[in-house]
Amino acid sequence: MTNDVVMEMADSVPMMKNKSADIGGAGGEVEHSTTNNQKEGVDEPDIIKNDGQYVYYYNAKQHKIYVIKSPLFDGKLDLEKVGYETVINVPKNFNNIQLFISKNKLVILSSRWNNTYRADYWGISGEQKTTIIVYNLENKQAPKLERFNDVNGYLRDARLIGDTLYVFSESSMYRPVMPYYRNIDDEKAYNKKVEQVKKEAKDSLDSKHFLPKLLDVQLDGKLSLKLYTADCDKVSYVMPDDKTLQSRFLQPVFTTITALDVQDSSVTPELTVLLSPMDQIHVSKTSVYLTNNFYLPAQYSCGWGALE
């Protein structure tokens, strides 16, 4: 697991301090800019972060994260103090890299691809994963990998409120590929194949195959590995009326919200699952708002359940 990200040497939620940070030994505070956030106290991800003392930057071309000492000293620019404290290599199959800084922790978010496609499989897609990585940066020159999480689905967005990280992932479902090339002579054979696939699905379906999962690997002190599966009884959904379902394309999609305490690894992660895709997101300190669109199916496609 530690080879996936290799280091190289070179309640009510409290609001985080955004405007300034102590510079150890300097005896003063330095004003520094932050990510442009929608709501005060709700931090948003970016490829570059800073805390007034260090700049954390992801270079997509090099697949590296640089921790750079700030050139500001006592409020004055001193270019002699610029230097790389640490370089963290990011695997090339990780994409959509986003960063957070929470006190002495660096959080790395990404999407990655698994080649696990099966044409005969019913269940949640395992091809796309959202990866959450937490480093302890108490010693900037010797970062310590503390946590590695995998969640079903593609990384859509994330927010950090105090010490709690909220990660939004979107995952689709597999369904068996039906024969699509046919003529009037093989109509009976086609229908027989469809009925066979339906029967096999009913005989083998297990709700656990459809529900998002979280793999939680902790490396703080000793290796700990746990797998969490979302609770089927707690999946939330808002279904359109029958008329809308008949005239719109509804692809079964899960939106998974993973809540993670980045400072305390003993706190069990929480999974909130919605049977709905997401398009836009707005997060306050007390609420999450998601929107999505319905699309008319193209002439050559058919909606979910059209073969029933």
pLDDT in tens, 41-72: 899 999 999 888 888 999 999 999 999 887 76
β partners of residue 72: 77
Average pLDDT across the chain, whole number: 76
Model confidence at 113: pLDDT above 90: no
Question: Percentage of the chain with pLDDT > 70?
Answer: 65
Assigned domain for 185 exists: yes
What pLDDT, on the 0 to 100 scale, is given for residue 70? 76
CA-to-CA dists, residue 250 to 58, 156, 294, 300, angstroms: 37, 19, 7, 15
What pLDDT, on the 0 to 100 scale, is given for residue 244? 73
- For residues 212 and 271, is the Cβ–Cβ distance under 8 A? yes
Q: What is the pLDDT of residues 240-277, one digit of tens each?
A: 777 777 766 666 788 999 999 999 988 899 999 998 88
Closest by alpha carbon to 221, among 286, 181, 164, 266?
266
* Residue 18 pLDDT grade (very low, low, confident, very high; cuts 50, 70, 90): very low
Q: Which amino acid is it at 16? A: M
The secondary element (H helix, E strand) that includes residue 210 is: helix 207-210
Q: Would the pTM count as exceeding 0.95? A: no
By residue range, what is the domain housing residue 152? 7-291
Assigned domain for 261 exists: yes
SS3 content of the chain, % helix, strand, coil (to 5): 10, 40, 45
Sole residue written with tokens 């059209």: 306
Assigned domain for 247 exists: yes
Q: What is the mean pLDDT of residues 102-110?
A: 95
Q: Are β-strands 128-136 and 213-218 bridged in parallel, bridged antiparallel, or unpaired?
A: unpaired
Q: How would you classify residue 207: left for phi > 0, otherwise alpha for psi between -120 and 50, otherwise beta?
A: alpha
Q: What is the mean pLDDT of residues 290-307?
A: 60
What pLDDT, on the 0 to 100 scale, is given for residue 185? 58
Sole residue written with tokens 């999974």: 271
What pLDDT, on the 0 to 100 scale, is given for residue 265? 85
In sign, the C-alpha dihedral spanning 227, 231, 237, 242 is positive
DSSP secondary structure letter of residue 176 = P
Assigned domain for 180 exists: yes
Assigned domain for 219 exists: yes
Higher-confidence position of 195 and 180: 195
Assigned domain for 297 exists: no
Model confidence at 300: pLDDT above 60: no
Q: Rounded to the nearest 5°, which phi and psi values hold at 194? A: -60, -45
Q: What is the pLDDT of residues 203-243, one digit of tens each?
A: 666 667 778 889 999 887 778 899 998 888 888 887 777 77
What pLDDT, on the 0 to 100 scale, is given for residue 126? 61
Assigned domain for 296 exists: no
Query: What's the chain's length in residues?
Result: 308
Sole residue written with tokens 């003993």: 266
Assigned domain for 302 exists: no
Model confidence at 13: pLDDT above 50: no
Q: What is the mean pLDDT of residues 181-200?
A: 66
Own/partner pairs, 79-84, CB within 8 angstroms, 24+ separation = 84/10
- Number of structural domains (the chain) is 1
